[in-house]
Amino acid sequence: MPPRGVLRWAPADLAAFELPPLGGEPEVPEADLVAEVDEAAVAASAEEAAEQARLEAEAA
């Protein structure tokens, strides 16, 4: 038995504490993720509008 105040941990006990890996990517706030998606949607929409205008100009 360990001395009083000393805890013994088995590897199975330590596995219960799932810590994130060190040096991983920091968490991005959800608001930033939404902003990135909106920027991508705006860029794609602008490209589609330019392509549609080009096609209409060629057809005229």
pLDDT attached to residue 20: 65
* Chain centroid offset of residue 42 CA: 20
CA distance 6 to 1: 9
- Tens-binned pLDDT, residue by residue, of the chain (60 aa): 556 766 666 666 666 676 666 676 667 677 766 766 677 788 888 899 999 999 999 987
Residue 22 is given by DSSP the state: T
pTM recorded for the entire structure:
0.38
pLDDT attached to residue 56: 92
pLDDT attached to residue 53: 94
pLDDT attached to residue 48: 92
